[in-house]
Structure 1
Amino acid sequence: MKNAVGREIPEHIAGCKYNPYRGPWACIPSRQANGGKSVDAPAAEKVLKSIDAAIEAVGLRDGMTISFHHHLRNGDYVMKLVVDAIARKGIRGLRLTASSLSAVQDAIMPHLEAGVITAIDTSGIRGEIGKFVSAGKLPHPVMIRTHGGRARAIESGELSIDVAFIGAPACDIQGNINGVDGPAACGSLGYAMVDAAYADKVVAITDHLMPHPLQRISIPQTQVDFIVKVDSIGDPKGISTGSLRISTDPKELLISQYAATVIEHSGCFRDNFSLQLGSGGASLTAAKFIKEKMKTKGITAAFGVGGITGIFAEMMEEGLVNLLFDAQSFDSTAIQSLRQNDRHLEVSASYYASPGTCGPIVNNVDAVILSATEVDIHFNVNVLTGSNGRLMGAPGGHPDTAAGSNLCIVALPLVRRNFPVMRESVHTIVTPGETVDVIVTDRGVAINPLRQDLIHNLQGSGLPIMLIEDLQRLAYEITGTPTPAPTGGDIVGLVEYRDGTIIDVIRKIG
């Protein structure tokens, strides 16, 4: 037979399986052959006039799954712009998957109430949306995933994304994207990378459209179907809000000192150790005490990892940290460092924490300091709900780094606003106690009995080491025994552990 260019091609060739050439766009690669994405003939023009036009171009319809990233945190405008446009078109019953939902996303509440969005899959949920879900008003249970677990679910096909809307601080006319240029620079696009790679269709929303090619590329044009320019994708001042702060509170300063001392005497504090710091005030503040101890002992860290703050960037500039692996940049100093320093490396959520890979970087972390909403006598940690069960937080990378690191420290005050955060049982288990090694509070330090090596190493450290049961009793002596929250309501959410199993459920509260 003759193919489309007139060449004679035998109908059968021994040992070969093939199709004759039929034209440059006649055969579209299958989803399986292209990492989960369907492929169309390339658009003559990727840049569209409006979000409405992009929604039409990708064929969005009722019941599909749309995704967003949260690198602009409380400064994000993209989700509201897109969901407003979707609502205007009368599309309903969508599943929203986001790497996290910040308080700024309360702006889409009318669309949850109207049924534009009827299901949510996320690594964090707060504010009015958290209240809405906790009250049982969302038609389907929310799925809460870790950062690593979300990447695993997307890569495995368990979480299939029809259209990813990528807030692009800088984007060229062919769709190359980075997060370090433009008026809304947010730094690393680590969480958006997985969405862009695996979503069926990808739309870049940008306020900084550049000529081709962009000099620095985080997400390549090969993954982007369409581009829309808008007036603004967000306010970068909103990136450093919420839990990101260096504490001046005497109680948190004491907790930070204790946490740094745990690392110093743990056995892992040596030249070329590795470190991750969580976003809580105590864990971030601990960095300054760790810096002092590193300088005193003359040691450097091989790398820092996670959500990167200016503290880490400054430590690298001072020669105390050799490399930074950045899945999310938490402030302007970190963003500038990522732009300028070639030892500050941008990584995807998968590289950072996915247990479905051959080895995420969290598996190589020596010590991590994390925060918590509450902890119990079995070392279980809750970072998702309040003690009343209302959704108000985020697993983020908490369970991922706890499981992967050699030393997991959870730092928190014994009592917060006259409520005990050390409990007999946490309301929601997010990070299982067997992956948590040390609990640090302002009134004492508890070591997991599973870590007899740490119990031995921390003898003589000067720390006020106590049994965790004694810490819990002390908390109750200060505040009184708390009234347990109701636990019998309908299930409104599932808490997934990083491996895809369900570790707990969220129940409806009034």
Structure 2
Amino acid sequence: MQNYDPKLLPASFVPFTASSAFKEKQRVLIPEKAKSQTVVFLSSIKALFDTLKITDGMTLSFHHHLRNGDYVFNMVMEEIKKRNLKNMHLAPSAIFPNNQVLSELIENGNVTDITTNYLNGPVAETIGKGLMKGLLIMDTHGGRARAIESGDLKIDVAILSAPAVDLKGNGNGIEGPSACGSLGYAISDLKYAKKVVLVTDSIIDSLKRVDLPCEYVDYVVKLDKIGDPKGIVSGTTKITKDPIGLKIARNTAKLLDELDFIKDGMSMQTGAGGTSLAVAQYVKEKMQDKHIKGSFASGGITGYIVDMLNEGLFEKLYDVQCFDLQAVESIKNNPAHLPMSASVYANPYDPEVIVDKLDFVILGATEIDTNFNVNVTTDSKGLIIGGSGGHSDTAYGAKVTIITSALLKSRLSIVKDKVTTVTTPGEDVDILVTERGIAVNPKRTNLLEKLAGSKLPLVPIEKLLETSQRIAGTPKRIELKDKVIGLVRYRDGSIIDLLYQYK
């Protein structure tokens, strides 16, 4: 599968060939960082920059567990701006709309390169206009862990928000006024960055649990406030009331039942969006009707999935990030609600990788083409509106990958002849469920055989494309500029697509 001209690929990168190609290579592990003998406590970001001598061209990494409520990333950006540092490479696990100060730093040449898993808001627009001097590299959640542990992503200083820190310099995410729950995306940074800094607003005598062990920590910065936990609820975390979304969710649950995935020991992952949560609701009802107990649910965890755990429908939860405050409270108090690192979650080379143990995953799509390639990185105009996150990771790992979406969004069909950007390859996408029909990837003959005789509205994906064009017409394909502004890096490190400056 080739969605771009390989001549445009920078020399140090390799093109994507297949989602299973990683099996042909050995895991690469650089040595973990030297253990710290003592942890130095500081009282400001300024003091941190002075002490560590942060200079032009360094790579700084961050996690995004406080999401839209994070203050630390912006404070560091302001310090870079004050010192007029140049050519900085930033490696946050995600960038949100509240990080708009970064746009100014990009335009001024303070920041020239960014590696991240997810990006939306003003910064995405700035990069999309071609205003960043270097490249944007967009990883998957598992791919970022792989990139760090292999040395592909070398981090000079990891600046990690830690809601609570003890007197030895251990940190966690479950205590303190800014508690955000799991710190799964920070673990690779902690182990492999040259220097590690915890930034906290709560220093206590001892921690209930250690997520960030002090032997990896060099500095702790104590601030008045590191963030607003209410900001972790970014987007929809409530079940949809939209009739179209509910119809899609009902049919998805029926489909899973007919495919015999709703059974004792089942494992699942759903997103935090309204339709995904509605799928969880209908799956829950079927589990209750059949007196079924699942083994685990995983991923980013919402209060709704916590309720399923508390009601005895799952044995445990594996949590890489908390999507709401109910999940934060649960991971603090329930021993069956387990934190996991991004590597254990989704790194293709991690021997314990959780995504490979999933029975099914429910995912969304901005676009899906007739070869079942999915785009969750850009919109149809080429503007960056997200990124893989765990999309590609879970799609590869789960036994069945289901995309749920309304057929039309803002009068535009989600089904295309060809997606604008490939995030997840079609070889790992099994079924598309829309309100106007369900399309099964024809390569999944085993699923089609199981569904023979089903009363569900099964149609070829080409038929869904025809239906959408009949309703909304055929949109003119948007022309993008030739300038490559970024790379979409698949979980194994290969480049699955390119990002272009939009007109």
Q: TM-score range by the shorter chain?
A: over 0.9
Are 2:292 and 1:299 aligned?
yes
1:227 to 194, 202, 220: 220
Task: State the distance in 1 between where 2:397 and 2:37 align.
Answer: 42
Specify whether residues 375 and 209 from structure 1 end up closer, same or farther in structure 2 by C-alpha distance, changes over 3 A only. Answer: same
1:244 aligns with 2:237: yes
Cα distance in 1, alignment partners of residues 200 and 162 from structure 2:
5
Specify every segment of 5 or more residues in structure 2 that has no aligned partner in the other structure, as ranges. 1-27
Check whether the contact 2:94–2:118 (CA below 8 A) recurs between aligned residues.
Answer: yes
Of 129, 133, 142, which residue of structure 2 is paired with 1:139?
Answer: 133
State how far apart, in whole Å, the 1-side matches of 2:368 and 2:393 are. Answer: 17
- How far off its partner does 1:243 sit? 4.2
What SS does structure 2 have at the residue aligned with 1:360? coil
Question: What is the alpha-carbon distance in structure 2 between the residues aligned to residue 41 and residue 287 of structure 1?
Answer: 47
Identify the range of structure 1 (418-427 vs 49-58) with the bigger mean alpha-carbon deviation.
49-58
Correspondence list, 1:157-176, <5 A: 157-176=151-170
Do the aligned partners of 1:147 and 1:397 also contact (CA within 8 Å) in 2? Answer: yes
What SS is found at the alignment partner of 2:295?
strand
Equivalent in 461, 477, 482 of residue 468 of structure 1? 461
Give the distance between the partners of 1:70 and 1:380, measured in 2 at CA.
27
1:421 alignment partner AA: I
User: What is the match of residue 384 of structure 2?
Assistant: 391
Match of 1:149 in 2: 143
Give the letter aligned to residue 87 of structure 2.
G
Matches within 5 A, 1:415-434: 415-434=408-427
In the other structure, the counterpart of 2:369 is 376
Partners of 2:416 and 2:209 lie apart in 1 by: 48
**CA distance change for structure 1 residues 266 and 172 in 2, over 3 Å: closer, same or farther?**
same
Percent identity (aligned): 43
Does the residue aligned with 2:100 lie in a helix, a strand or coil? helix
Q: CA deviation at 1:173?
A: 2.7
Scaled by the length of structure 2, what TM-score is found?
0.92
- Pick the aligned partner of 2:77 from 76, 80, 83: 83
Q: Is the 8 A contact 1:279 1:371 kept in 2?
A: no
Name the structure 2 match of 1:480.
Answer: 473
What is the CA deviation profile of residues 338-394 of structure 1, one whole-angstrom value per residue up to 9, with x for unaligned ones?
011001100000000001222411000001000111111110100010001010112
Cα deviation, 1:432-466, whole Å, max 9, x if unaligned, reads 00100100111110001111121122234431110
Q: What is the distance in 2 between the residues matched to 1:263 and 1:232?
A: 45
Of 330, 336, 349, which residue of structure 2 is paired with 1:343? Answer: 336
Q: Does 1:186 align with 2:175?
A: no
Task: Say if 1:249 and 1:368 are closer, same or farther in 2 by CA, change over 3 A.
Answer: same
- Say which of 307, 311, 314 aligns to 1:314: 307
Say whether residues 1:102 and 2:91 are aligned partners.
no
**CA distance in structure 2 between the partners assigned to 1:129 and 1:383 by the alignment:** 17
Q: Which amino acid aligns with 1:42?
A: T
SS at match of 1:351: helix
Instruction: State the 4+ residue runs in structure 1 displaced beyond 4 angstroms.
Output: 38-41
Is the counterpart of residue 35 in structure 1 residue 31 in structure 2?
Answer: yes
Contact 1:282 1:371 in 2 (8 A): no
Matched residues in 2 for 1:393 and 1:247: separation?
21
Deviation string, structure 1 residues 52-86 (Cα, Å, up to 9, x no partner) = 11122223111010011111111111100112122
The answer as to 2:445 corresponding to 1:449 is: no
**Counterpart in the other structure of 2:273:** 280
Contact map agreement 1:100 1:394 (CA 8 A) in 2: no
Alignment partner, residue 324 of structure 1: 317
Q: Which stretch has the larger CA shift, 317-326 or 33-42?
A: 33-42
- Supply the distance in 1 between the matched residues of 2:93 and 2:272 (Cα, whole angstroms): 16
Amino acid in the other structure paired with 2:31: G
- 2: CA distance between counterparts of 1:403 and 1:434? 9
Shift, 1:42, TM fit: 3.0
Pairing partner for 2:59 from 37, 43, 65? 65
Count of matched residue positions in the alignment of Structure 1 and Structure 2:
476
How much does 1:215 deviate? 2.6
Distance in 1 of aligned mates of 2:149 and 2:447: 36
How far apart are the structure 1 equivalents of 2:36 and 2:329? 37
Distance of aligned partners of 1:33 and 1:457 in 2 relative to their CA distance in 1, 3 Å threshold: closer
Q: Aligned partners of 2:409 and 2:379: how far apart in 1?
A: 12
1:374/1:34 CA distance change after superposition, 3 Å: closer
Other-structure match for 1:436: 429
What residue identity is the alignment partner of 2:287? M
Amino acid corresponding to residue 203 of structure 1 in structure 2: V
Distance 2:295 2:380 in 1: 38
Q: Distance in 2 between matches of 1:182 and 1:457?
A: 50
In structure 1, how many angstroms separate the alpha carbons of the residues matched to 2:476 and 2:373?
Answer: 19
Distance 1:33 1:345, change over 3 A: closer
Q: Deviation of residue 298 (structure 1)? A: 1.3
Which residue of structure 1 aligns with residue 9 of structure 2?
none
Q: Secondary structure at the match of 1:193?
A: helix
Residues in 2 aligned to 1:311 and 1:195: alpha-carbon distance in whole angstroms:
30
Q: Give the match for residue 399 of structure 2.
A: 406
Q: For 2:388 and 2:72, how far apart are their aligned partners in 1?
A: 23
Q: 52-61 or 94-103, which moves further after superposition?
A: 52-61
Distance (Å, rounded) in 2 between the aligned partners of 1:496 and 1:279: 24
State which of 48, 56, 65 in structure 1 corresponds to 2:50. 56
How much is the aligned-residue C-alpha RMSD, in angstroms? 1.5
